[in-house]
Structure 1
Amino acid sequence: MAEVKVAATIAPQDIIDNETLNSINDNHAYIDIIELRIDQWESHHHEHLMKNLSLLNEIKGHFKILVTYRTLSQGGKGQLTNKEYLQLIETISSIDAFQMIDIEWESNIDVETHKRIIENAHRHQKQIIVSYHNFLETPPLEELKFTYYKMLKLNPEYVKIAVMPKEKRDVATLLEAVAYTSEAISQQVIGISMSRLGLVSRTAQGVFGGTVSYGCLGEPQAPGQIHVKELKKQLLFYENM
């Protein structure tokens, strides 16, 4: 069974407020990664990011910081053009104050451009999560497996797929794709079946070979997220069976 890290997602409207900072402090024992969403900011991303990273790095904890700009097409609030998005990723990759960065995958991406941006991020010691989100449906099993395979061409440390289930079989399909891929590749695999229907994919992630599960500290930032304390408890239940 894979060891699963807990990522706590936060999305400050401007600067992280004291309530969130206190919540991170109170729950630091359950958190391995802080995912800092930045797509909610309409502008001045670099300036806002630097201020928030400074606050997070003052907290006494052993968590890594993951920076994510989620575009509108993949369920986020970000409205940058593709060119602007890639420029932002390339620019912030040089910041030393965080360790991980999320880079979105689409079937029509320019693979060579993405490779270059990821190589640049690697030069700055960043771990890369290449992610794909589908808020409409769960694609067929073979399509999910092939998507993971195509993500590997970008040479990330993690490959992540999050999809929306419409029925129980969709959850099983996603978990089967995670199990197959985690046994076939050396990179770390993340698979999420969103909403309450897919909750088992978050809590039993490690059983199927997944290595990161996303939770929240307050309001969920994605369908189906639960509080990191409860998430850690559920993950440990499966690990200790």
Structure 2
Amino acid sequence: MTHVDVAATIAPENQISQTLLNDIYQYRDSIDIVELRIDQWIDFNMEQFETTIHQLKQLNMNCKILVTYRTSTQGGRGDIGETEYLELLYKLIQHAQFDMLDIEWNASIDVEVYGKLIQHAQENGLKVVLSHHNFQETPSLEELKFIYFKMQKLSPQYLKLAVMPHSKEDVLHLLEAMSVTSDSTPYQVIGISMSKLGVISRTAQGVFGGAVSYGCLGEPQAPGQIHVKELKQQLQFYES
């Protein structure tokens, strides 16, 4: 059994509203990480980004800030290509006033490119969540374990895998892959079986060696997300 941090995913369309800031503060006891999604911004603006980070820090909460730009190929709203995506990540790292950075793992991108990017992020004080998302299906158990294996060779702090289940067996495969990987790697592991079918992967994350579970404050930002307060309570049930 591992301790699980709760990440509250927020995706403000433009500037973060006072209502959203109030919600974050209201549920601060249930939140360990605030995941700021920026792929929904029509035009990325560094000044706006820095203002948003400052507003989150002004809440004076004892939580980390995770920044995520999710591309459309991995289920997000970001429509930039690979080169532009990597350039954006380097730009974010240079202005690193946050704590954690999500970096999408894609088999088409050279390993050396990833290695340099991850090292650069870590040298600038960021913890890296190396992630891979499949919104269409759940690969085989062996393929899931192999994806984790390939990601861990890049030495990020977190290995995150999120897949879409179509059967109970799919959910079990994800949980087993996460469990086996967490027993064999020095890095933190995250595994998500999306949709209602896979909600147990969120609520019982720690039972299978997972380190972070993602929840929402209102509208779910990914299939199967539940409110952070309920998520925290469910996780504590398993930890007690």
> What is the TM-score of this pair, normalised by structure 2?
0.98
Match in the other structure for 2:237: 237
Unaligned runs of 5+ in 1: none
Unaligned runs of 5+ in 2: none
Q: Distance in 2 between matches of 1:141 and 1:233?
A: 30
Counterparts in 2 of 1:98-137, with a 5 A limit?
A: 98-137=98-137
**How far apart are residue 49 of structure 1 and its match?**
1.2
User: Is residue 2:154 matched to residue 1:159?
Assistant: no
Match in the other structure for 1:72: 72
Match in the other structure for 1:193: 193
Q: Is the 8 A contact 1:38 1:45 kept in 2?
A: no
Q: Is the 8 A contact 1:25 1:60 kept in 2?
A: no
The range that moved more, 86-95 or 223-232, is 86-95
Q: Distance in 2 between matches of 1:44 and 1:136?
A: 28
Q: Distance in 2 between matches of 1:140 and 1:96?
A: 37
1:107 aligned counterpart, secondary structure: coil
The amino acid across from 2:90 in the alignment is E
Query: For each residue in 1:161-192, what CA deviation from the matched residue of structure 2 results, as whole angstroms up to 9, or x when unmatched?
Result: 00000011110000000000000001000000
Match in the other structure for 1:172: 172
Q: Distance in 2 between matches of 1:44 and 1:192?
A: 28
Match in the other structure for 2:31: 31
Query: For each residue in 1:98-124, what CA deviation from the matched residue of structure 2 results, as whole angstroms up to 9, or x when unmatched?
Result: 000000011221111111111111111
Match in the other structure for 1:145: 145
Counterparts in 2 of 1:47-66, with a 5 A limit?
A: 47-66=47-66
Query: For each residue in 1:8-47, what CA deviation from the matched residue of structure 2 results, as whole angstroms up to 9, or x when unmatched?
Result: 0000001111111000110000000000000011223422
Match in the other structure for 2:3: 3
Match in the other structure for 1:213: 213
Query: For each residue in 1:83-106, what CA deviation from the matched residue of structure 2 results, as whole angstroms up to 9, or x when unmatched?
Result: 000000011112232000000011
Q: Is the 8 A contact 1:57 1:97 kept in 2?
A: no
The amino acid across from 2:227 in the alignment is H
Match in the other structure for 1:83: 83
Q: Distance in 1 between matches of 2:15 and 2:157?
A: 29
2:190 aligned counterpart, secondary structure: strand
Q: CA RMSD in A?
A: 0.8
Q: Distance in 2 between matches of 1:223 and 1:239?
A: 24
**How far apart are residue 81 of structure 1 and its match?**
1.0
The range that moved more, 107-116 or 177-186, is 107-116
Match in the other structure for 2:40: 40
Q: Distance in 2 between matches of 1:14 and 1:181?
A: 38
Match in the other structure for 2:22: 22
The amino acid across from 2:56 in the alignment is L
Q: Distance in 1 between matches of 2:43 and 2:117?
A: 21
> What is the TM-score of this pair, normalised by structure 1?
0.98
The amino acid across from 2:3 in the alignment is E
Q: Distance in 1 between matches of 2:121 and 2:213?
A: 23
Q: Is the 8 A contact 1:194 1:223 kept in 2?
A: yes
Match in the other structure for 2:226: 226
2:199 aligned counterpart, secondary structure: helix
Query: For each residue in 1:60-91, what CA deviation from the matched residue of structure 2 results, as whole angstroms up to 9, or x when unmatched?
Result: 21010000000000000001111000000011
Q: Distance in 1 between matches of 2:46 and 2:223?
A: 28
